[in-house]
Chain A
Amino acid sequence: MGYLLTMDQGDDVLKALRKDYRVYAPKRFPQEGRYSDTDMIRYAEVESFGDIVWDTKSDFPAKEVLSPIQQTLFYFTEEEFRASKDPQKPILLLARPCDIHAQEVQSRIYAGNGGFDDYYYERMRNLVTFAMMECNGGDDTCFCVSMGSNRTDNYALAFRFSGDGALVQVADEAFKPYFSGLPETEYHPAFVEENALKVSVPDLDDPEVRGLLRQHPMWKEYDSRCISCGSCTVACATCTCFTTRDIQYGDNPEVGERRRVTDSCQIAGFDQMAGQRELRPTPGERMRYKVFHKYYDYKARFGGSHMCVGCGRCIRRCPECISIAATVEKMNAAVAEIKADLTE
């Protein structure tokens, strides 16, 4: 079942949906980009159909809706604490297939990992219903097909936007009433089947190869190129690392709130231990850690997919023009070299 909406009809549908849902989508923030007279596109609640940015990739991922950069977990007074307010109102999250896949990754990290369900993530995740935004092909930093995240059936609604309106598929019957009386049409969402950018992840199952790859000089390049700002992981659709921070309201340290704030394995000090020891004190080592985590460690632990959906936002946001795809290519070359040496 499909519908063809004009912009005005789209606005009407959105208005009706907003009664029952908080509707989040990529939104343009004019002139708020990193450079002067550039825009920022990030997730926010949308009030009009025209606010939805569908033709350009957002700078920041959909994960910000479920796990915002800063979030108050609970308030504490001496022995007592109270969880922050449950958001309650359901969320309709417009996301491309890569971002929908990313939530499958994030769910695995937050739920059940270490025998523990993250209450604050779970209560948000349970509120979210996906509306899939058909991807118009992304840009030349996208490599979702390589990562197997180009297709999804995890959605209640699917949209194909155009300048004039949108085609909509209602996959979940519960959403039918919002479209009653609107012109019906045949529409089946299409998925990106090929990206210009292709990434093939090396086989790192051999522990000896992994050991040698960790010590390989390829990582040293990033000691001078990477500035350890963390732009890549903040923009990453799947990264979940956070730190907790207790805010004391006044001179009584037992009254305050605990927040969780996004953190990044790329920022110096992330892995600082008692005694000031850092496990990965150089940008190259931090880069290696991230790349191993994305393209080996996560899958080795959880199975299924890698911890990268190929959204390419880390490439787009890196202020030093470092491409994760090029890094994986270099890793392929290093692995080939290591394997050749081992067979000699």
Chain B
Amino acid sequence: MNHDINVKNLRLNCFRQSKVPGEFMLQMRVPGGMVDAKYLSMVEHLSKTWGDGNFHFGTRQSFEIPGIKYEDIPAVNAYLETYIREVDETLCGADMDTVAGKPQPWDPKSGYPTIGARNITACIGNYHCIFGNCNTFELARKIEPIIFPSHYHIKLNISGCPNDCNKAHLCDFGVIGIAHMTYHPERCLGCGACVRACEERASRVLALNENTGKVEKDACCCVGCGECVRACPAGAWTRDAQKFYRVILGGRTGRQTPRTGKMFLNWATEDVILAVLRNWQKFSAWVMDYKPEYLHGGHLIDRAGYKKFKELILDGVVLNPECLVAEDIYWHETEYRSNFNVKPPALHHTAGPQR
């Protein structure tokens, strides 16, 4: 058995080192966590032929196939061509002959070219869910060609509604589908079902005006969940056709400074989300002085500072009129390493081009 293996190169190739010497686990991208069920037979074939017969749901919704021997990796990669071409190239429109938007020819028999941009995860969204406000995996498929292939790291989670089952609050760039509602007072019974729904399951922004028998809303703090629409027996609340998104920035787990993300954009349209993400490679490159490191996106925001991040990520982005941008963000880390926020500037990592 070969005991001289460049595990870092294999990691970039989406093969993760096993505790068993010479064995690796393949991570297959499933953008938005949704693909045709026919690919499960490919997963089965991979697992039965080269893996240990088992299959694991990756925590980022990738197909994980453990127990692949180092020697078999070329065969596995050759087999992957169909999957990568059909899912990433055809379904999502990813340009496999680029890395971070720059030309770099891809050998189709060589498997995944980069690990940086992680699999985009998504809840099932309004494709199925009665709470969902948007089609999460269709959005994931639009984002996939923007962030992949790239060595710059980004973990991107999409939740179809503010219930945030898919943890947009715990990734670099979390997207939450929100709805702007229209109230039709002429259809309102004044039964108060929406008021109670908002009180029990959302942000308590509705109140029944006893004098008019109609509902009033404190629009400032509406989370855009659509519970009022769901609760109304008469269709007096409807979601507007224009879909909106909230972006939760800089959340993460980890051994050092885990934290929940904070609101970066509110009421952004899909066009704005995609335009912002088109700046992600540029921002990451700038922070790391154009040398990709194995470093997650949230840490890059820390290095640059939120103000610089905002400047670079919104560069050239035309915001929709409803879109609100955080003036500042105050994250609150779990301080596993004490004094993380007060350590001397000299001990901080640098940002920007180094002379």
B-binding residues in A (CB < 8 A): 29-32, 34-37, 40, 42, 59-60, 68-70, 229-231, 233-235, 245, 247-248, 259, 261-264, 267, 317, 319
Contacts and interface: CB of A to CB of B under 8 A. Distances in A.
Contacts of A31: 238-241
A35 B130 contact: yes
Q: What's the dominant secondary structure at chain B's contact region?
A: loop
Nearest to A36: B126
B194 to A, nearest CB: 10
A68 B233 CA distance: 14
B188 A70 contact: yes
B211 A30 contact: no
Interface residues of B, number: 33
B230 interface: yes
A35 B211 contact: no
A34 B211 contact: no
A29 B184 CA distance: 13
Given A31-B241, A36-B177, A248-B211, 17 more contacts: A29-B238, A31-B240, A37-B135, A42-B235, A69-B187, A70-B185, A229-B233, A230-B189, A230-B191, A230-B193, A234-B233, A259-B213, A261-B188, A262-B189, A262-B234, A264-B189, A264-B233
B190 A234 contact: no
Nearest to A259: B213
A164 to B, nearest CB: 28
Contacts of A263: 189
Contacts of A247: 211-213
Contacts of A37: 126, 135
Contacts of B211: 247-248
Closest 7 CB pairs of A and B: A36-B126, A32-B238, A231-B233, A230-B233, A234-B233, A31-B241, A245-B213
19 contacts: A29-B238, A35-B230, A36-B133, A36-B179, A36-B226, A40-B235, A59-B235, A68-B186, A69-B188, A69-B234, A229-B231, A230-B189, A235-B233, A247-B211, A259-B213, A261-B213, A264-B191, A267-B189, A317-B233
Contacts of A40: 235, 238
A101 to B, nearest CB: 22
B134 interface: yes
Contacts of B76: none
Contacts of A30: 241
A152 B185 CA distance: 35
Contacts of A68: 186
B191 A60 contact: no
Nearest to A245: B213
Contacts of A261: 188-190, 213
Nearest to A59: B235
Nearest to B186: A70
Contact of A319 (B187, B230, B235): B230
Interface in B221-252: 226, 229-236, 238-241
Nearest to A317: B233
B132 interface: yes
A34 B235 contact: yes
Contacts of A42: 235
Given A59-B235, A247-B212, A248-B211, A34 B189 contact: no
B189 A229 contact: no
Nearest to B130: A35
Contacts of B179: 36
B239 to A, nearest CB: 6
Given A37-B135, A248-B211, A319-B230, A70 B238 contact: no
Contacts of B231: 229
Contacts of A259: 213
A36 B189 contact: no
B46 to A, nearest CB: 35
Given A261-B189, A264-B191, A267-B191, A34 B229 contact: yes
